[in-house]
């Protein structure tokens, strides 16, 4: 099955109020063309699940500047001062999650788990409002799973079936996000024919990918 689509088609299903995941770490491994299309479309009141909000002029930061999110779930916002200003002004709801916990919550969402137990955050503001569980005499926080309506990924290479290969650190959150959304769209740098990718090099199987767009 050929999964090649268009940038317009990639963002067509995104509606106001949806929850989206976007891969990347400070813009590295972020699907820039898809982000630009979301900016142009102007969808609003979105909930974002991502590692960070990049910079004002790069990646997810463009969506922040355009005020398209009502809520974000991220591990840090320090590289984008616009995010901080919107949070302080009460225009943006920001949920800061320790980076490892964020990855595990997304993984739990993709695996159909009820959550993960972690000691990270105990005794800090992170534990506020969260259930605590004791296992073998040790206390843990119950962190709930994260899922999205759509996940937008960036990959280095794909075949027409959607099997994805990432490039070095640009892999980051992309593979785990591929498992935790109802629809998965990958922006790719290189398209090859089926059978050209060594199966040992496939990180995200095409089973998880609904659409490919050339970036």
Q: pLDDT band at 17, cuts 50/70/90? A: very high
Position 41 in a domain: yes
Position 120 in a domain: no
Neighbours of 136 (CB within 10 A): 4
Closest CA to 180 of 144, 155, 130: 144
pTM: 0.95
Position 132 in a domain: no
**pLDDT tens figures, 103-143:** 999 999 999 999 999 999 999 989 999 999 999 999 999 99
CATH number at residue 159: 3.40.1080.10
**pLDDT tens figures, 141-187:** 999 999 999 999 999 999 999 999 999 999 999 999 999 999 999 99
Cα–Cα distance measured from residue 164 to residue 203, given in angstroms and rounded to the nearest whole number: 6
Cα–Cα distance measured from residue 27 to residue 192, given in angstroms and rounded to the nearest whole number: 25
**pLDDT tens figures, 61-82:** 999 999 999 999 999 999 999 9
How many domains are there within the chain? Answer: 1
Position 78 in a domain: yes
Q: Is the pLDDT of residue 1 over 80?
A: no
Cα–Cα distance measured from residue 77 to residue 165, given in angstroms and rounded to the nearest whole number: 28
Closest CA to 32 of 68, 62, 77, 1: 62
Domain residues for the domain of 150 are 7-115+145-214
Position 134 in a domain: no
Q: What is the 3-state secondary structure (H, E, C) of the chain?
A: CCCECCHHHHHHCCCCCCEEEECCECCECCCHHHHHHHHHHCCCCEEEECCECCECCECHHHHHHCCCEEEEEECECCCCHHHHHHHHCCCCEEEECCHHHHHHHHHHHHHCCCCEEECCCCCCHHHCCCCEEEECCEEEEEECCCCEEEEEEEEEEEECCCCEECCHHHHCCHHHHCCCEEEEEEEEEEEECCCCCCHHHCCECHHHCCEEEEC
Position 85 in a domain: yes
Handedness of CA 39, 41, 43, 48 (dihedral sign): negative
Position 126 in a domain: no
Position 121 in a domain: no
φ/ψ region of 88 (left if φ > 0, alpha if ψ in -120 to 50, else beta) reads alpha
What's the pLDDT at 2?
84
């Amino acid at each position: 099955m050929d999964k090649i689509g268009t940038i317009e088609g990639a963002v067509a299903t995104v509606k106001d109020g949806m929850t989206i995941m976007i891969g990347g770490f400070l813009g590295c491994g972020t699907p820039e063309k898809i982000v630009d299309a979301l900016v142009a479309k102007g969808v609003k009141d979105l909930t974002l699940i991502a590692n960070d909000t990049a910079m004002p002029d790069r990646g997810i930061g463009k969506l922040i500047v355009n005020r398209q999110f009502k809520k974000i779930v991220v591990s840090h916002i320090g590289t984008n001062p616009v995010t901080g200003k919107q949070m302080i002004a009460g225009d943006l709801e920001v949920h800061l999650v320790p980076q490892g916990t964020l990855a595990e919550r997304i993984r739990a969402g993709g695996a159909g788990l009820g959550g993960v137990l972690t000691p990270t955050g105990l005794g800090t503001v992170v534990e506020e409002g969260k259930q605590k569980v004791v296992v073998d005499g040790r206390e843990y926080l119950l962190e709930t799973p994260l899922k999205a309506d759509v996940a937008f990924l960036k990959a280095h290479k794909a075949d027409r079936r959607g099997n994805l290969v990432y490039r070095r650190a640009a892999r980051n959150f992309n593979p785990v996000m591929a498992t935790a959304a109802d629809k998965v769209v990958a922006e790719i740098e290189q398209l090859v024919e089926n059978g050209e990718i060594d199966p040992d090099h496939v990180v995200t199987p095409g089973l998880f990918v609904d659409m490919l767009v050339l970036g």
